[in-house]
Structure formats: C-alpha cells, structure tokens
Amino acid sequence: MPKLSDRTLIILLILLQLAVCLPFINAFPVALDEPFSIFWAQQNLGEMVTELNKGNNSPLHFIFLNFWEKLAGISPAAVRSLSLLFSIATIPLIYNLGRKVVTKEYASLVVLIFIFSRFNHFHALEARMYSMLVFETAAVLLLVYELLFENRFRLFWFVLVNACLLYTHYLGIILVGTEVMLIAIYWKRLNRSSLLKLAVAFGIIGICFIPGLLVFLARFSGGGQSSWVPEAQFTELYGNIIRFFNNTLTFCVVAGMLFLAFLFNKQKKIPQLLRDLVNPQHGFFLLFFLIPYLGMFIYSKISSPVFLDRYLLFTTVSLYLYVGIAAARIATERFKTYLLLVVPGIMAASVHFVPDNNREPDKVAAAVHELASENTFILIAPPYYDLTFLYHYNRELFATKPGHGMPENQPIKGVYSFAELNLADSFEQIILVDDNADLVYPNNHIYADAQQWGNAAFEKTFKGGTRVVSFLKK
C-alpha cells in the first residue's frame, strides 16, 4: 500500500462509503418502519415524545430527524441522508481504534469490511436509528479502550455518549452493562482516581436516564407481554454472524483465509499465536463482541426475545475489529497481500448495493392512483399501514395522517374491520389496500365483507404480500 497518512486514508474510505451509498439512496422505496420514523419526527417535540413513550422507541433519533426534516424535507434522500452521515462518522472511529492495535493496512481492512457489510450498508440507507446506534457503539468502544489501556479518561464524552446511547435505543442498556463488565474484568489497570471518576460518570448517566427508566422497565420486565421478535434459536448463534459477513460463501472465504494464514504461519508456534489473540488488548475487542452477543441470546432464552439481527447490529463494530486484529497477528508478510485483496473483494462482490426491503409501496400507491376516481373510497388494512401507503400516495395527507388531523371528509381510512365504515351512497368503488391483514388479524372478514358490498374488478399482489383490490358497487 502506498505510504498514505492516516488522515488521507480516512478521507479515501469516507469517499468510498459515499460512492457506494449516494447513488442508491433513492433506489428502493421507503417502507417497513421508515414511515413511522418520518411521520412522528415531523410532529412537535412534546407530541412526539408522548407517542414514543407508548411503545418501545427511544426518542433521540426522532429528535435529530425532526430538525433534519425541517432543514431537508421528507424525501427519501433527505431522511436517509441522516443515517448515512452517522455511518460516515463511524469510519474514523473504527479506523482509529484499529490503528491502536494494528497497522494502517489492517485498520483499512476493518473499515472496508464495515463499508461492504450488506447489513451495515442497508442501515446506512434506512431512515431508522440503527446507524446512529452503531456510531455510538464505536465511540463507546474507543472511550473505554483509552480508559483501560491508555490511562486516558474523557469524562464529558463518556457521559454524553452513554446518555445518548440509552436514548437512541433501549437496548443501549446492554452496551452500558458490557462496559461495566469489561471495567470489572480490567479494573486492576485503573488507578484510584480513574475509579472515582468512573463512579461519578455512571452516577450522572443514571440520573440522565431517569426520565426513560419507567419506559425501559416496562419494555424489558417481561410482564407476560408477547413480543413480535421470534424466539432465539441456537442456529442463530452462527446464523447472525454469517449475515454480518453477507452470506455463507463470504463467511467461509473470510474464515478460510484466516485459517490458512494461521496454518501456514511458521514464524510463530501455535501456543504463541493463541496467546497473542487473547492478550488483554486483543481480548478486549473479543469480549466487547461476545458479552452483548451471548448475553442477548441468554436473555432471549430465559426472558423476552431480543436476539434479532438488526438488534445485534452494534456488535459488528467489535466483531470486525477483532477479525482485523486476528488477520494482523496470524498472517505473515507474504500472506498479508492475499488477505488484504481477497477479503474486501469478496465482501464487495456480495453486498447488495441496492438494498431489497421486499416491499413495493410505491407500486401499490401507483396502482391505487390509476384505479381511483372521484367516487372512490380507499380502505387500508391494517390501519397502521396508512403511513406507508400515504407516504407514497399523497405526501400532504401523510403529513396529517388519518385520525391525526386529516379532514374527516377524506375518502380514505385505515380499519381493522369492514364494520368500522360508514359509507355514503355516493361511493361507487372501494379500493382495498391490504397489507397481510389476514395474517396479522385473522378472521377480520374485510375481504369477504367488501365482496358483499361490491364485485371485485381488479386484484394484484405486490412484494411482501400487499395486495390492491378494486370493488365496484353492486
């Protein structure tokens, strides 16, 4: 690699991130949880926080997005660019962490794995909080590493990042717990002054989180409440790691390259290599991955399921860093060239630059536009699909949402059953926008009741199972 400075390498890596993200930021439709974030972020802060406290969404990303939407609007590129900025900001943190333990080449390798990770690429282009959470994880990792191994404690940033972490996603408490466990493991490296500062820091963090404590406890206490997250399976222990390396083939190539490097390293004996891989500095990164990863799996088994790939996304920071460390420690100079070419190459070849969220709400909205007339009533089921549909159908109506300021005379409504409707005689057509209502709410009879009202003249199913059906009045 040419002798480039660290700053130059960081800039080049950031430009690469932009090159693989910006052309595709509008290439797939806003769907799934994005419309919820976009809609509530455009409300006033008081109303937004009140609504978020009813569920399991932390408010910080919504607050950032609120100001961002005022500046940039609510187009796909506008709302997603905030996530991209957090992803870009993560790059210098990961690179600088890598440089503390490996050379420029291997620090760059870690960043390239991050950039070409299919999962991180998707969330860098999604208007959700996960890219922000990954950024905060990298910041926490850097701050804790500096504390334990460089005797450098940046108290203000430590408190700020941890407080933000807790308000970005309630799973942030797991990261705080990971920090506490690692500090307990490495406490002998700290002097009395650092321990006192840590006690003060965690005290302040606890005070900062008091407003969100009741919501957090309600979310994680179990309390017999069902969760949409599937039960954790033992196969997911390796299944998620495979996803973090894009697919099975890519994972096997990366793991195989590391194994070959280990096997053909004649300069060090195997016990020496193993000791090197788990020495205090290197073991720190491995533990920062294993503690939350295995901890969330165990919690899912004994309490409430949280072992979900996107919930685990923040663990990829320490995972990729440890892969870079392992490569640097076990590869000889001769084998290094193969690693630095093959691993980023296979990751780049397997990333989906245009993310596929398996939804087509833009095409759903286009179909309704084509079918609708002045005497049409649009029926949305389940009702929470209204945000996704309206974002693509009518941005002005999206800004108000049915039941949230939309004029009552608008011929559009989200319902759980056909019985909720009070149709005027003037309507000659009903268009049913059905997003798997039978799956979510069995026996809702919406389709059957609509057939009683009119004859089905058009029906089409789109990606993800969403269907549009036009009924003409009998």
Q: Is the pLDDT of residue 214 over 80?
A: no
Alpha-carbon distance values, 172 to 55, 162, 398, 417 (Å) = 16, 8, 31, 38
Q: What percent of the chain has pLDDT over 90?
A: 68
CB 394 within 8 A of CB 410: no
Confidence of residue 226 (pLDDT cuts 50, 70, 90): low
pLDDT reported for residue 85: 97
Q: What pLDDT does 137 receive?
A: 97
Helix axes 76-99, 316-330, angle to 10 degrees: 40
Cis upstream peptide for 382 (omega within 30°): yes
Q: What is the per-residue pLDDT for 224? A: 44
What pLDDT score was predicted for residue 470?
95
pLDDT band for 162, please (50, 70, 90 cuts): very high
> Across all residues in the chain, what is the average pLDDT?
90
Tens-place pLDDT, residues 404-460: 555 566 788 888 877 777 665 678 899 999 999 888 888 888 888 888 888 999 999
Q: Helix 280-302 to helix 316-330 angle, to the nearest 10 degrees?
A: 140
Mean pLDDT of 231-250: 94
When comparing pLDDT for 56 and 360, which is higher? 360
Residue 467, classed as helix, strand or coil, is strand
Q: How confident is the model at residue 48 (pLDDT cuts 50, 70, 90)?
A: confident
Sheet with 454-461, strands from edge to edge, namely 412-414, 376-381, 429-435, 466-473, 454-461
Percent of the chain with pLDDT over 70: 93
pLDDT given at position 274:
80
Residue 225 has pLDDT above 60, yes or no: no
Per-residue pLDDT reduced to its tens digit, 362-383: 999 999 999 998 889 999 999 8
* 425/431 Cα distance (integer angstroms): 15
| Stronger pLDDT, 332 or 343, i.e. the higher one | 343
**Predicted pLDDT at 216:** 66
Q: Residue 269 above 60 pLDDT?
A: yes
Q: What angle do CA 210, 213, 215 make, to 5 degrees?
A: 140
Region 48-76: mean pLDDT is 88
Q: What angle do CA 119, 121, 122 make, to 5 degrees?
A: 65
Q: What tens digit of pLDDT does each residue of 296-320 get?
A: 999 999 988 889 999 999 999 999 9
* For helices 316-330 and 236-244, angle between their N-to-C axes, nearest 10 degrees: 80
Residue extents of the structural domains in the chain? 6-350, 361-473
Whether 264 has a pLDDT exceeding 70, the answer reads yes
- 344-357 per-position pLDDT tens digit: 999 999 999 999 99
Measure Cα distances from 320 to 213, 446, 457 in Å: 32, 48, 53
Tokens, residue 183: 């500090």
Kindly state the average pLDDT of the residues 5-26.
96
For the residues 1-18, what does the mean pLDDT come to? 91
Q: What is the mean pLDDT of residues 133-148?
A: 97
385-405: average pLDDT:
83
Nearest to 137 by CA among 325, 357, 291, 307: 291
